[in-house]
């Protein structure tokens, strides 16, 4: 069996999806203490994927119908519910859920149309698109409701974005001029992580106002950090990279100032890095 874990909560409950032995279908699951449970399909659904779980145990994900139409779902207290779409749309995705139950994802606004990044608070709210971009989705949502994701241009370029209720969508650019980026994590400070043309990045709202190559925070060690996948409210970052050419997972741990040193310890689970943390506003 081939399975993928896509989310975990503070109790250690993991969610994801698993393929059938003949790869003819896949099903969403939750796993608690090594005991896995299948998540029911929506009516009309043929496959489903669980993408996130919050600390209350509410699970979100994507249901796929035979016709290929995606529908966001929420699973709580043994009941699976479709979340519908933005007005006029026919497809949606749920990618993440925060502690308050707000959901980040996407929905289109016309049948078969391009998806817009959207948040679900009992109904979908369209986050809009920045000028020059025709589609996008929200991939992550912080504990206080900030969202991050990716916008796509007609020219096939992409850019990471940060959304806040007071400022709307802010595009974050790329590490190199003319490059691409995508965001996969955001915390309550507005710090965003993701990847830009194969390199892991960090965007710190309070200080940088630009993307920072995470590889510049580690000394020469054989590590190359390629994708930052999540960041928590303590500033810890997890992601994927290579160590001497072999793919590994990494964890980055910030330390408060005034410490300004860099310490690296590699082990069987990946990379542990201590770096100077920015001053808090």
Average pLDDT, stretch 41-45? Answer: 94
As to burial, measured by CB atoms within 10 angstroms (0-12 exposed, 13-18 middle, 19+ buried), residue 151 is buried
Q: Looking at residue 279, what is its pLDDT?
A: 37
Q: Where are the domains of the chain?
A: 1-82
Average pLDDT, stretch 147-175? Answer: 95
Confidence check: pLDDT of 276 > 70: no
CA distance 271 to 251: 6
More confident residue, 41 or 269: 41
Q: What is the pTM of this model?
A: 0.89
Taking only the tens place, the pLDDT of each residue in 49-95 is 999 999 999 999 999 998 889 999 999 999 999 999 999 999 999 99
More confident residue, 6 or 66: 6
Q: Looking at residue 252, what is its pLDDT?
A: 86
Q: Looking at residue 217, what is its pLDDT?
A: 78
More confident residue, 35 or 210: 35
Q: Looking at residue 82, what is its pLDDT?
A: 97
On whether the CB atoms of residues 26 and 18 are closer than 8 A, the answer is yes
Q: Looking at residue 1, what is its pLDDT?
A: 67
């Amino acid at each position: 069996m081939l399975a993928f874990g896509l989310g975990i909560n503070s109790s250690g409950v993991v969610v994801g999806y698993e393929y059938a032995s003949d790869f003819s279908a896949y099903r969403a699951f939750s796993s608690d203490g090594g005991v896995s449970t299948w998540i029911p399909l929506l009516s009309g659904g043929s496959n489903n994927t669980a993408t996130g779980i919050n600390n209350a145990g509410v699970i979100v994900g994507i249901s796929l119908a035979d016709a290929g139409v995606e529908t966001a779902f929420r699973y709580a207290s043994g009941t699976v519910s479709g979340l519908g779409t933005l007005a006029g749309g026919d497809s949606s995705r749920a990618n993440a859920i925060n502690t308050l139950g707000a959901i980040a994802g996407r929905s289109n606004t016309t049948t078969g149309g391009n998806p817009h990044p959207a948040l679900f608070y009992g109904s979908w709210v369209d986050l809009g698109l920045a000028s020059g971009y025709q589609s996008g989705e929200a991939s992550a949502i912080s504990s206080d409701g900030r969202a991050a994701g990716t916008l796509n241009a007609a020219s096939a370029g992409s850019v990471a974005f940060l959304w806040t209720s007071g400022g709307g969508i802010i595009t974050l650019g790329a590490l190199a001029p003319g490059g691409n980026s995508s965001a996969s994590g955001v915390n309550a400070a507005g710090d965003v992580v993701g990847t830009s043309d194969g390199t892991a990045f960090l965007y710190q709202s309070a200080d940088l106002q630009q993307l920072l190559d995470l590889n510049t925070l580690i000394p020469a060690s054989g590590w190359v950090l390629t994708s930052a996948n999540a960041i928590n409210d303590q500033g810890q970052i997890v992601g994927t990279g290579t160590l001497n050419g072999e793919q590994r997972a990494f964890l980055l741990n910030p330390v408060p100032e005034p410490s300004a040193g860099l310490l690296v310890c590699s082990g069987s689970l990946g990379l542990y890095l201590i770096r100077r943390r920015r001053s808090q506003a």
